[in-house]
Structure 1
Amino acid sequence: MNTVVSEGIVNLYNEMNDLVNKSGMYLNLEDDNGCLYFNVWNTHTWGEYTLYYFPVKFVEELNPTLRRIVITFYHDFMKENGITTINDEADMDWAIDMLTEGCYEDEDAKERRAREKLVKSYKDGRAYKLLDRVWRKSYYKNLPKAIEEYECKNGFEQGLIELLRRGLEFIKTEKAIMYYGYDPFYDEEPDYLPMTLEQQIRVVYDSDDIMTEHLIDFYNSSRQESYDIIPASTFAVSPKTDKVFTLEDTYPERFFKWADDFIHYIR
């Protein structure tokens, strides 16, 4: 049901919008079950990657103890932040169909076997099972202790452990990265759906294989008629409001800074 907006409300909105815009912020007039309210919002700074695809293939090369630590970290990190894997998602089904039914007339027998092996891996094989494992498995109840007590064997492990240690702030946090998935252009009956944070921040098997390339192609194709959700903080304004809205919360900026370093290190 559409809420009727009076001329007075529109005039008040225009006056407030001018004031808010001068402060470098934005204002929406929104409806909460028939009650109108003003919502001040501003976006946070995205990181260096267009899509935050966290790969897990590298854990296959780790020793059993470190592998369990990393899998536990991934599991807790995903659960706390509302992040999922690509398993059983609609765009994943599309990517598999592309690799199964696409035109590959120029490939030789070796290339065909490699493609079929990759499809099998993502459907129910190695890739699918590892992604399912990080989603379901947690080996340590006290992950910080496990990280601190691990004895690194080489420089790579030292760097990885330090990144895991830094990443602990994004586990057991009061807010999740998906908490900031505010859509300032929300429409009850949109012509197209926005590209959500869940589609932009995910866990993949391998960030560089052809399956992930197809997922990226799907994303780029979909966004041509849509727009990206960028993490934003909001502030509802009412007659009882007694403070000024600021972007003091830097969780998204800290999240992306760490994610930039982590993904760059493990790729």
Structure 2
Amino acid sequence: SALRYSGLVGLRLPFRPTGKSPRMNIVKLYRAMDTILPEHVNLEEENGRLYFCLYRFHEWPEYKLFWIPLEFTERLPEKLGRIALEFIRQLARHHGIPKSTDTSYYEMAHDYLEDYRLYDEEATAGEIRRKAALARLYEKGKAHRILERMDNPKGFLADLEGEIRKYHTKKNYERALLELLTEGMAYISHGSPSIMQYSYDWAYEETPDFRPVGLETQIMVTWSVKDAMNDEMENYFNSDYQESYVITPVTTFHLTPDTEKPFSMDDFPERFSQWLTCFIKLITNNF
């Protein structure tokens, strides 16, 4: 595989096997591949066979949380709110984006808010009530109900693209939202990749001391990014971020004896992150 690929890309592989152990030859071959190729190289095992995996990192915002809130739809006209909810539901299903309430961050934050009096002896009765009420909102209230509908195959409306096209408004921010939803339809079409397809743990360990921060925690659907629940979840996320490394989108390429084309990569993660940044900024700052 290595010899075939080096010839395919027009490079001379500086490697000669020796009569020493196969293990030493594999190590030397790996070093040779890692030296001559512009891509990063991993040596991996699958079904008892070793193979080379070439990979490159996509450009991705550093320390960026793409937590998509739903609470803003409460301040939209009813029809536009349903359009926005349906779009986010389809976006989450297409890309495998989880709900914040499915994470350990939420469990810890919920327990903290629910039993706030145990963590802050100086908390007032009003603070304790507000924290407990927020915990109930996520556990049994409207936040819970709408987040759960993100998993429901039955949507908020039947023809999303048609409803976006038909909806008219004179309000600038609502028009900007419709423009972003129209642009975003490309990211939920049948031909669109899933951002989670670009998730690759390039430093994988079977039993790590700390697990890396995956794309599935950097990109989530949540109720609000402005309440105490979000603040606590973000605190727990920051702790993980400081202890480990972050998985960002990567394109991988496995070499086989039948490889016939060189490594290539698209710009989907870059375009998706730029659009998602604009979308979250608009709905967070203006609704």
Using the size of structure 2 for normalisation, the TM-score is 0.85
Q: State yes or no: 1:13 paired with 2:27.
A: no
Note if contact 1:181-1:229 (Cα within 8 Å) is conserved in structure 2: yes
**Counterpart position of 2:213:** 195
Note if contact 2:115-2:132 (Cα within 8 Å) is conserved in structure 1: no
**Counterpart position of 1:44:** 58
The aligned runs of 1:247-266 (5 Å cut-off) are 247=265, 249-266=266-283
Aligned mates of 1:88, 1:257 — CA distance in 2: 26
RMSD (Å) for aligned C-alpha atoms: 1.8
**Counterpart position of 1:167:** 184
Identity within the alignment, %: 36
Note if contact 2:98-2:220 (Cα within 8 Å) is conserved in structure 1: yes
Note if contact 1:30-1:36 (Cα within 8 Å) is conserved in structure 2: yes
**Counterpart position of 1:126:** 142
Aligned mates of 1:233, 1:250 — CA distance in 2: 10
Aligned mates of 1:89, 1:214 — CA distance in 2: 13
Note if contact 1:47-1:260 (Cα within 8 Å) is conserved in structure 2: no
Structure 2: state its 5+ residue gaps: 1-20
The aligned runs of 1:179-194 (5 Å cut-off) are 179-194=197-212
- Deviation at residue 48 of structure 1 after TM alignment: 6.3
Code of the aligned partner of 1:90: S
The counterpart of 1:135, out of the listed 151, 161, 183, is 151
Structure 1: state its 5+ residue gaps: none
Note if contact 1:47-1:257 (Cα within 8 Å) is conserved in structure 2: no
Note if contact 1:92-1:215 (Cα within 8 Å) is conserved in structure 2: yes
Aligned mates of 1:139, 1:100 — CA distance in 2: 31
Query: CA offsets, 1:2-27, max 9 Å, x none?
Result: xx96222221111110012xx2x200
Using the size of structure 1 for normalisation, the TM-score is 0.91
Aligned mates of 1:239, 1:195 — CA distance in 2: 34
Query: CA offsets, 1:45-90, max 9 Å, x none?
Result: 1136621101111001111211111111011100000001112432
Aligned residue pair count: 260
- Deviation at residue 38 of structure 1 after TM alignment: 0.6
Code of the aligned partner of 2:253: F
Code of the aligned partner of 1:201: I
- Deviation at residue 217 of structure 1 after TM alignment: 0.8
Code of the aligned partner of 2:105: D
**Counterpart position of 2:72:** 58
